[in-house]
Amino acid sequence: MPGLQEAFYIIAIVFMGVMFVLIISVVVAVFVIRNKVVRIERAIEAKINTVTTIAEKSGEIAALATGGIVRKAKKAIGKKK
């Protein structure tokens, strides 16, 4: 093999090796980023569920308190008559 052809073969082999390593690193980076996004999504969903539960409980408490006030008001009006 002439020297120039051998040099091009060596350059091609090095280039293919570098590109292979680069492609593998990009694939690994995509999976890592995907896992982080999924983890963040789950954390946000958990917080939303917590807020929703708190809102539902506070609504129930308000309904119970309102019901108690209405009963007391009815009793007070009934006693005045």
pLDDT digits (tens, 9 = 90+) for 59-77: 667 666 776 776 766 666 7
Q: How far is Cα 64 from Cα 81, in angstroms, rounded to an integer?
A: 26
Q: How far is Cα 74 from Cα 15, in angstroms, rounded to an integer?
A: 87
DSSP string, 14-64: HHHHHHHHHHHHHHHHHHHHHHHHHHHHHHHHHHHHHHHHHHHHHHHHHHH
Q: How far is Cα 34 from Cα 42, in angstroms, rounded to an integer?
A: 12
The model's pTM is: 0.56
pLDDT in tens, 10-57: 999 999 999 999 999 999 999 999 999 999 999 999 988 888 887 777
The pLDDT value recorded for residue 74 is 67
